[in-house]
Amino acid sequence: MSSLEFDKVLYREASKDLSNNEEQLKVYDSTGNCVVLAGPGSGKSKILTLKLARILNEDIEAPQGVACLTYNKECARELKEKLYNLGIIESSTIFIDTVHSFCLNHVIRPYRHLANTNLPKEIKVATSREVRETMLRTFNLTIGKNERYTSSWSTAFNVYRRTFIERKSSEWKTNDSDIAEWILNYENSLRHQGLIDFDDMVLNGLWMIEENQWIQGLLQAKFPVIAVDEYQDLGASLDRIIRVLCIENDTRLLAVGDPDQSIYGFTGAQPSLLNDLADQSGVLKIRLKKNYRSKGNIVKASIASLLEERDFVSSRDEEGSIKFYGIRDGIDAQCDYICKEIIPKILTLDPSSTLGDIGVLYIDKNDGDRIAEKVAKEGLQYIRVDGNAPYNKNQLTVWIENCATWCSGGWLKGSPQFSEIERTFSSFFSNSNISEVKLESKKLNLFKFLFRSRDVELKLIDWLDEFNNSIVSELLDCFTEEPDIVKEYDKLIESAKNGQLKDFKVSSLSRQVGSKSHLNLYTLHSSKGLEFKYVIMFGLEHGRIPWLNAREDKINESRRLFYVGLTRAKDEIHLLCSGWYYDYYDRYQNYGPSNFVLELKEFVDNNL
Ligand SMILES: Nc1ncnc2c1ncn2[C@@H]1O[C@H](COP(=O)(O)OP(=O)(O)OP(=O)(O)O)[C@@H](O)[C@H]1O
């Protein structure tokens, strides 16, 4: 059997799963623009991957390809892995990456010389320090004459820039002329430094596409199909790009998303954009109704939390449970209760379960500090994803995680593939003057290191030490202009030496999600897309979720965030609150439990 035939058999096998779901089958058989609107756990990711596999095998022939746009690099990596499992190997005809990367690599870099833009000749991306400094300096020149710079100013700046994308419109100036002026000064200042930032990539990508029909034609010739995952989070610029290419032109669209899970308002994302796109003429709108993840009562309760009707039903027979705990004292007492009462009870009552089945979800990184401290005191190992986590994910740390995955068994499964690791490694040198011969010799060294380090039992710090000595220390020269990237790498090393990752093995670093022996600690935002048998949410106080005196759109977004947390659970939800918490000014306040919890409790008590 040829490898192509093998691929076809493999994805047909996988698509058998769809025979129990008429709506998924409609997506699978669609031939034109298709938008899938569906709730959590309904198989959006599954159908996106299967349909992409089918399109690649049946509808597209090299050198044409498919562009698949995702919310962030981690989503892109997950999608590549799922496609790989269906026999689809990344090649030059499959682009899977962020919208920023699409705009930079397929619009700005190739065509900016031929289009009318004010972008610098050499594209240099501003570091976060350069962005911060330029924002502050231009703020002081404009608004700062009368106001003090706070983080809410930078949020307002970003939301404005990402919402009012049409600079010729009257809205752009009139909505808030001070912020509009600040943005223009900021962008001019970046240009004087020969820099662009991430928003520039998407905005300029959009403007270039909109203003140049020949770019639309070239993109369509290269990528006759565009797929978008998590559409609800991708913001107004991406929405406009999709409309130009797929609604006003003939590029075929496959988009999946869930407006109820739109929780990134600060990126300019609005849940209405996806609903509106699905209603465009010529778009096949499909709603998936079965929830394969959560037991019945969890689906019912999560819908009730939205205060709106939804027709989702659980495909599971069992009921599932939602438990409420009013703890007298504040967040520390709740964390204590989780560690000493709830987790041991879960593990005792369900002996087949492990810490990896439990997700503890919270509002912010300070909650992460509180729970991590208590969990460590109890001697439990954990994975933590929030702003105070041992290190943040960036292109370098994610690449190191990938290398760790390869060493701890990935090499056997081809996941990740060495070619993927090698390609990212080469891309780090793209702005250096390294000769081909030298790069080849570095790649060989990388392969030798990874090959001799294939051992799941290796201590993480020993693996990192050797990796640093043989490969990474030299690689850091590529990031001299990106101190933030190096800072996160240093944090990773420090944490493996003396901090939270001290007793980790190399296998624990690699793709930590899904580790059986680690408790999962996540902010509600970072839990998106994940699922756990048991979900514990704490710190659910009024004033925290939602904020005190929040505007209606913010309250609605907080409600959706609460919904995202609830819908991560397969079997059981545990909700903790006390009413007490330390506010922004470090005052110990009691505004009572969150209304979201009170409303849900009433629903559960009366209906389930
Ligand atoms: N037709 C199907 N039959 C059986 N299981 C399915 C089917 N479709 C999806 N699933 C399973 O349901 C679970 C949820 O699927 P998936 O992750 O694709 O959902 P999702 O809609 O992307 O969820 P979320 O929006 O919460 O991230 C997965 O375990 C998946 O394998």
Q: Which residues contact residue 438 at a Cβ distance below 8 angstroms, ignoring those fewer than 6 apart?
A: none
17 lines ligand 1 (CB under 6 A): yes
- Residue 15: what residue type? S
Helix (H, G, I), strand (E, B) or coil at 589: strand
| Backbone angle region of 532, left / alpha / beta, with phi > 0 → left and psi within -120 to 50 → alpha | beta
The protein residue with its alpha carbon nearest to ligand 1, atom 3, reads 17
Helix (H, G, I), strand (E, B) or coil at 120: coil
Interface ipTM: 0.97
The protein residue with its alpha carbon nearest to ligand 1, atom 12, reads 292
User: Residue 367 in contact with residue 527, Cβ under 8 Å?
Assistant: no
pLDDT, tens only, 573-582: 999 999 888 8
CA–CA distance, 601 with 595 (Å, rounded to integer): 10
pLDDT, tens only, 380-394: 888 888 888 888 878
Local confidence band at 9 (pLDDT 50, 70, 90 cut-offs): low
Local confidence band at 149 (pLDDT 50, 70, 90 cut-offs): confident
- Residue 453: the pLDDT is 93
User: Residue 565 in contact with residue 40, Cβ under 8 Å?
Assistant: no
302 lines ligand 1 (CB under 6 A): no
Q: What is the mean pLDDT of residues 501-507?
A: 83
511 lines ligand 1 (CB under 6 A): no
CA–CA distance, 42 with 257 (Å, rounded to integer): 11
Does residue 277 register a pLDDT over 80? yes
20 lines ligand 1 (CB under 6 A): yes
CA–CA distance, 195 with 225 (Å, rounded to integer): 31
Structural element, H or E, at residue 24: helix 22-29
The crossing angle, in degrees rounded to 10, of helices 483-498 and 460-467 is 140
Helix (H, G, I), strand (E, B) or coil at 258: coil
Question: What distance in angstroms lies between residue 27's CA and the mean position of ligand 1's atoms?
Answer: 14
Q: How far is CA 557 from the centre of its chain?
A: 17
42 lines ligand 1 (CB under 6 A): yes
Domain 3-99+206-288 has CATH 3.10.180.10: no
258 lines ligand 1 (CB under 6 A): yes
Local confidence band at 12 (pLDDT 50, 70, 90 cut-offs): low
The percent of residues in the chain predicted with pLDDT above 90, rounded, is 59
> What does CATH list as the number for 296-381+517-607?
3.40.50.300
Q: Which atom of ligand 1 is nearest to the CA of 21?
A: 1
Q: Which atom of ligand 1 is nearest to the CA of 261?
A: 25
How confident is the prediction for the chain on average, in pLDDT?
89
Rounded to 10 degrees, the C-alpha dihedral 24/29/32/35 comes to 0
21 lines ligand 1 (CB under 6 A): yes
Local confidence band at 428 (pLDDT 50, 70, 90 cut-offs): confident
The crossing angle, in degrees rounded to 10, of helices 395-405 and 73-85 is 30
pLDDT, tens only, 331-346: 999 999 999 999 999 9
Question: What distance in angstroms lies between residue 292's CA and the mean position of ligand 1's atoms?
Answer: 6
Q: Which atom of ligand 1 is nearest to the CA of 46?
A: 18
Question: What distance in angstroms lies between residue 484's CA and the mean position of ligand 1's atoms?
Answer: 36
Beta carbons within 10 angstroms of residue 282's beta carbon: 9
pLDDT, tens only, 163-184: 999 998 888 988 888 999 999 9
Residue that wins the pLDDT comparison between 3 and 26: 26
The protein residue with its alpha carbon nearest to ligand 1, atom 5, reads 292
CA–CA distance, 572 with 535 (Å, rounded to integer): 6
Weakest-pLDDT range from 91-95, 284-288, 462-466, 523-527: 91-95
189 lines ligand 1 (CB under 6 A): no
CA–CA distance, 529 with 40 (Å, rounded to integer): 8
Of 520, 467, 517, which Cα lies nearest the Cα of 493? 467
CA–CA distance, 308 with 216 (Å, rounded to integer): 39
Question: What distance in angstroms lies between residue 31's CA and the mean position of ligand 1's atoms?
Answer: 22
Local confidence band at 13 (pLDDT 50, 70, 90 cut-offs): low
Of 603, 560, 596, 590, which Cα lies nearest the Cα of 575? 596
Beta carbons within 10 angstroms of residue 111's beta carbon: 18
For the chain, the domains span 3-99+206-288, 124-193, 296-381+517-607, 395-509
In the annotated binding site for ATP, the residues are 38-45
The protein residue with its alpha carbon nearest to ligand 1, atom 7, reads 43
Q: Among 21, 256, 293, which residue has the most ligand 1 atoms within 8 Å of its CB, making it the best to mutate? A: 293
407 lines ligand 1 (CB under 6 A): no
Of 81, 67, 358, which Cα lies nearest the Cα of 223? 67
Residue that wins the pLDDT comparison between 585 and 285: 285
Helix (H, G, I), strand (E, B) or coil at 68: strand
Tokens 């925290």 — which residue?
A: 544
pLDDT, tens only, 222-266: 999 999 999 998 889 999 999 999 999 999 999 999 999 989 887
Does residue 486 register a pLDDT over 80? yes
The protein residue with its alpha carbon nearest to ligand 1, atom 18, reads 43
Weakest-pLDDT range from 76-80, 204-208, 537-541: 76-80
Tell me if domain 3-99+206-288 and domain 296-381+517-607 are identical in fold. yes
pLDDT, tens only, 17-71: 788 889 999 999 999 999 999 999 999 988 999 999 889 888 888 889 999 998 7
pLDDT, tens only, 408-424: 888 888 778 898 899 88
The protein residue with its alpha carbon nearest to ligand 1, atom 26, reads 40
Does residue 569 register a pLDDT over 90? yes
